[in-house]
Amino acid sequence: MREVGHFIGGKQVSGQSGRTTEFFQPMTGEVIGRVALASKDELRQAVENAKAAQPAWAATNPQRRARVMMKFLELIAQETDSLAEMLAREHGKTIPDAKGDIQRGVEVAEFACGIPHLLKGEFTEGAGPGIDMYSIRQPLGVVAGITPFNFPAMIPLWKLSPAIACGNAFILKPSERDPGVPMRLAELMMEAGLPAGILNVVNGDKEVVDAILDDPDIKAVGFVGSSPIAQYVYSRATTNGKRAQCFGGAKNHMIIMPDADLDQAADALIGAGYGSAGERCMAVSVAVPVGKATADALMDKLIPRVESLKVGPSTDPSADFGPLVTKAHMEKVRSYVDLGVQEGAKLVVDGRNFKMQGYENGFYMGGCLFDEVTPEMRIYKEEIFGPVLSVVRAKNYDEALRLPSDHEYGNGVAIYTRDGDAARDFASKVNVGMVGINVPIPVPLAYYTFGGWKASGFGDLNQHGPDAIRFYTKTKTVTSRWPSGIKEGAEFSIPTMK
């Protein structure tokens, strides 16, 4: 059985708190390791290492910091297969999906390699008589990220890459459910030439999360997880004077207009709704066909597709999706399907009792499809985070627009249509942070920013792209004048540029 500790001061260290938790191989249900749960003292040890190392790293010129990131990317490329196998073994997603997890994280690290350009400030010559003005971006110091189980490579890379490239030291608190990949990424960073102490990985539970939020030397915290915890992290962090960007749950809708290509829309719903067993914050969990004819035709296409989904172990290259991450989460998703039936939704495909031959103890569940779901139902209001798609029928376009706009969550939304006017109107009016037009999962590329609205996001700045550089730096503005030829004497009125 594997024992996973922490990564502090440039090396793996054993846990000292005496507390551990088990983690599993979801496709078999077996316990494969124990991960240490850090104490407040262990978190403080990581902070002290980071605080000592950060000034020299900040003083390293941005081009040299970028070279470390480039070497890091080279090492990840060499180990993509082994990283994907580890990720799939601990999380349950298929190997191809695990590689996609890594790739979307790599793209943000690639963006961070442009840090010499991204950190450039502004300059105005002759802002006043003999006066020049310029701005510079400087790192915050020690910053932290608290990341979820569903993307154990991508989200840590989204957080640590821009933070470290900007000259900060970073403390990562990954999910204790799949700790292997974050620990290996820290080792690869060291191999790439990162100084010891600049990246620390501290595993743990609420005790270490609270220690991060309360530690006076941690200047900023990024979080991804459920909305209640995102709001908790944001409130406690900001109360303690920290910057915070916290991203929560989602209920992503896909609007299917009468003129849409229904085969294309149905395929998009299957991939976006059931990929990674629905354990994605950008998964489409609500389909909104407009008009009865559209809804009936869409259901005719969806039902056989959902019934034919291939669920399999993570190592099966032909599987559409694998098991859920834990037995407890599987039971929670099943309970939502039970609830939907009780609420009166029509369960047209029932995957609750799926069993994988040869893997009877794995955390598997087949795809579930509900029709005639209404906005009053809990299965519509709440995030299920599993392979469950709900169809909410809309009478017209205006009703379809209102559904995602009025929902508590506002992460992502998509519309399928051939009508450019309808698509443009929808993109302009919908009250959601990320919009796809004939794109089912509108995750922006690394040089744009990622972030939802309403209960899906807390904080003023989003993840990756230009917002990440703003989040992990502070702006200093310098007004400069040299004394040659300047009239002496005190001035008592406020300076102006007359």
Closest CA to 262 of 416, 81, 479, 476: 416
Catalytic residue among 113, 166, 246, 281: 281
**Where do the DSSP E strands lie in 129-207?**
131-139, 142-146, 169-173, 199-201
Q: Amino acid letter at 211? A: A
CA distance readout (Å), 286 to 133, 189, 278, 331, 459 = 52, 39, 12, 21, 26
The tokens of 68 are what?
A: 């470390």
281 catalytic? Reply is yes
CA distance readout (Å), 52 to 48, 193, 421 = 6, 17, 56
Residue with tokens 């992503």, as numbered in its chain: 252
β-pairing, 169-173 vs 142-146, is parallel
Residues with active-site annotation: 281
